């Protein structure tokens, strides 16, 4: 089967063509991502209305290029998968309406995909990872530890009680004047820094709760930066290095507990996989910490190629293909976007739910 995948949940306009063979192997035939960095840089972060308008302007061309790069036409496509949530509602509406129009025009089935499921299943596309496996999903909007037991079968073991890790990176970059996107900017600055100059306590270190928290770390960095102002380039580099050190120590502590929990729940698996996904999984310091944890606990570490860590259409197409191969029903054309859509509908949100449902 060959699927078209469309992703517009935040500030990347993305489309991809992915093939799945009968034996379950996947291959990415094309993967086009238009990043809206130029549109949002003046504001130091993503502006939802600007993102939605940019999706409207770009999506036709992005889909056309994905088809051309894969040397296929719409008539060659067996199905269309699109992100229906969670995310910025304006962007979700643009992508979902575009996918509905294509499905109606071509008569192809439509699969409305949870964005988090796309990240969760990427390791099966790139590395053929078998179920079950342990997933760390870290991005601008999500920091979760999930037991992935099958397509549509997810148990959330932990989430963040305040900021997501990617959000903390972005806010740190904005505070230090490093620009947008924040994650890569902080990582670049940290390479020239002395991590030992400042010491930020790693959040949640030793806490019995299996949860993340990054707001306190962000506040500690802000207070130190204000005390040092005006900041030199070396001050900024040292602050970034200390921030990353605290982040990696916190992630390592959280994941040490998570792998022990997962091992206890699946004692028969000889060498389970520890999978990292999401935009922050591209960070070298975070990856290194996870590789160490995996090796120390007898896990096999898997992280997608950098091009598939951030938001992309390939992961959405693959999630649709996985569902189609198992006989999951396609969606009616009246399917609605969901700004909030937890991957695990069983787990209760940390701080309650609004009128639109549980927080992701």
Q: Tens of pLDDT along 80-115?
A: 999 999 999 999 999 999 999 999 999 999 999 999
Inter-helix orientation angle 284-296/233-265, to 10°: 30
Is the pLDDT at 349 greater than 60? The verdict is no
2-121+308-358 and 130-306 share one CATH topology? Answer: yes
For the chain, list the strands marked E by DSSP.
Answer: 2-7, 12-20, 26-35, 79-85, 110-114, 133-138, 143-150, 153-158, 273-277, 300-302, 353-354, 357-358
Written as six digits, the tokens of 146 are 């999930």
Determine the Cα–Cα distance for residues 52 and 310; give it in Å rounded to an integer: 18
Q: What is the CATH number of domain 130-306?
A: 3.30.420.40
Question: Of the CATH numbers 3.40.50.410, 1.10.10.10, 1.20.120.80, 3.30.420.40, which one belongs to the domain with range 2-121+308-358?
Answer: 3.30.420.40
Determine the Cα–Cα distance for residues 218 and 196; give it in Å rounded to an integer: 18
Domain boundaries, the chain: 2-121+308-358, 130-306
Mean pLDDT, the chain, rounded, equals 93
Q: Tens of pLDDT along 181-231?
A: 889 999 999 999 999 999 999 999 988 889 999 999 999 999 999 999 999
pLDDT of residue 237: 98
Instruction: Please give the residue that has the higher pLDDT: either 179 or 264.
Output: 264
List of residues 6+ apart from 82 with CB closer than 8 A: 5, 6, 7, 95, 96, 98, 99, 110, 111, 112, 113, 316
pLDDT of residue 354: 52
Q: Tens of pLDDT along 146-190?
A: 999 999 999 999 999 998 899 999 999 999 999 888 899 999 999
Written as six digits, the tokens of 335 are 């399917």
Determine the Cα–Cα distance for residues 70 and 146; give it in Å rounded to an integer: 33
- Model's pTM, two decimal places? 0.92
Q: Please report, for residues 109, 123, 152, 225, 315, the alpha-carbon distance to residue 291 in angstroms, rounded to integers and kept in the order given.
A: 39, 15, 27, 31, 23
Query: In the chain, what percentage of residues exceed pLDDT 70?
Result: 96
| Mean pLDDT in residue range 348-357 | 52
Name the band, by pLDDT with cuts 50, 70 and 90, for residue 360.
very low
Question: Judging by DSSP bridges, how do beta strands 143-150 and 153-158 pair with one another?
Answer: antiparallel
Quickly list DSSP for 93-111: HHHHHHHHHHHHHHT--EE
């Amino acid at each position: 089967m060959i699927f078209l995948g469309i992703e517009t949940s935040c500030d990347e306009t993305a489309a991809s063509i992915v093939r799945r063979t009968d034996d379950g192997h996947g291959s990415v035939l094309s993967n086009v991502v238009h990043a809206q960095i130029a549109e949002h840089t003046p504001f130091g972060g993503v502006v939802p209305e600007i993102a939605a308008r940019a999706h409207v302007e770009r999506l036709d061309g992005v889909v056309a290029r994905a088809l051309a790069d894969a040397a296929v036409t719409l008539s060659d496509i067996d199905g269309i998968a699109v992100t229906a949530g969670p995310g910025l509602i304006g962007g979700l509406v643009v992508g979902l309406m575009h996918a509905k129009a294509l499905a109606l025009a071509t008569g192809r089935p439509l699969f409305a995909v949870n964005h988090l499921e796309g990240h969760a299943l990427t390791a099966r596309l790139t590395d053929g990872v078998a179920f079950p496996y342990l997933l760390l999903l870290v991005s601008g909007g999500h920091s979760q530890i999930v037991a992935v037991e099958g397509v549509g079968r997810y148990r959330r073991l932990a989430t963040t009680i305040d900021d997501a890790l990617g959000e903390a990176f972005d806010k740190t970059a904005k505070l230090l004047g490093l620009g947008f996107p924040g994650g890569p900017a902080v990582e670049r600055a940290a390479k020239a820094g002395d991590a030992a100059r400042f010491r930020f306590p790693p959040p949640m270190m030793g806490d019995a709760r299996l949860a993340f928290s990054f707001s306190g770390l962000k506040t500690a960095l802000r207070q130190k930066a204000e005390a040092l102002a005006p900041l030199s380039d070396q001050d900024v580099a040292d602050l970034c290095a200390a921030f990353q050190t605290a982040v990696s120590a916190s992630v390592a502590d959280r994941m040490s507990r998570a792998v022990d929990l997962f091992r206890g729940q699946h004692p028969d698996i000889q060498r389970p996989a520890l999978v990292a996904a999401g935009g922050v999984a591209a960070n070298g310091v975070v990856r290194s910490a996870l590789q160490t944890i995996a090796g120390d606990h007898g896990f096999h570490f898997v992280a997608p190629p950098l091009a598939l860590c951030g938001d992309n259409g390939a992961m959405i197409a693959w999630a649709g293909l996985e569902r189609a191969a198992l006989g999951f029903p396609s969606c009616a054309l009246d399917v609605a976007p969901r700004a909030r859509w937890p991957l695990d509908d069983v787990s209760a949100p940390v701080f309650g739910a609004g009128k639109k449902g549980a927080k992701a």
